[in-house]
Amino acid sequence: MSREELKKMFRPENRGIAKTTINDLRFRAEPTLGAVLGYLRSGDDLYVVCRTDDKSDIDGFSDYWYYVMSSNGKRGWTYGGYIRQTAK
Q: What is the pLDDT of residues 32-80, one digit of tens each?
A: 999 999 999 999 999 999 899 899 999 999 999 999 999 888 899 999 9
Would you call 3 exposed, middle or buried from its count of C-beta atoms within 10 A (0-12, 13-18, 19+)? exposed
Q: What CATH topology corresponds to 3-87? A: SH3 type barrels. (2.30.30)
Cβ proximity of 20 and 41 under 8 Å = yes
Is the pLDDT at 1 greater than 60? The verdict is: no
pTM, entire model = 0.84
Enclosing H/E stretch for 7: helix 3-9
Q: Which is more confidently placed, 57 or 86?
A: 57
Q: Which is more confidently placed, 41 or 88?
A: 41
Helices (H) and strands (E) in the chain, counts: 1, 9
Question: Sorting pLDDT into bands at 50, 70 and 90, what band is 88?
Answer: low
* Alpha carbon distance, N-terminus to C-terminus of the chain: 26
What are the Cα distances from residue 49, in Å, to 59, 60, 75?
Answer: 24, 25, 9
pLDDT of residue 71: 87
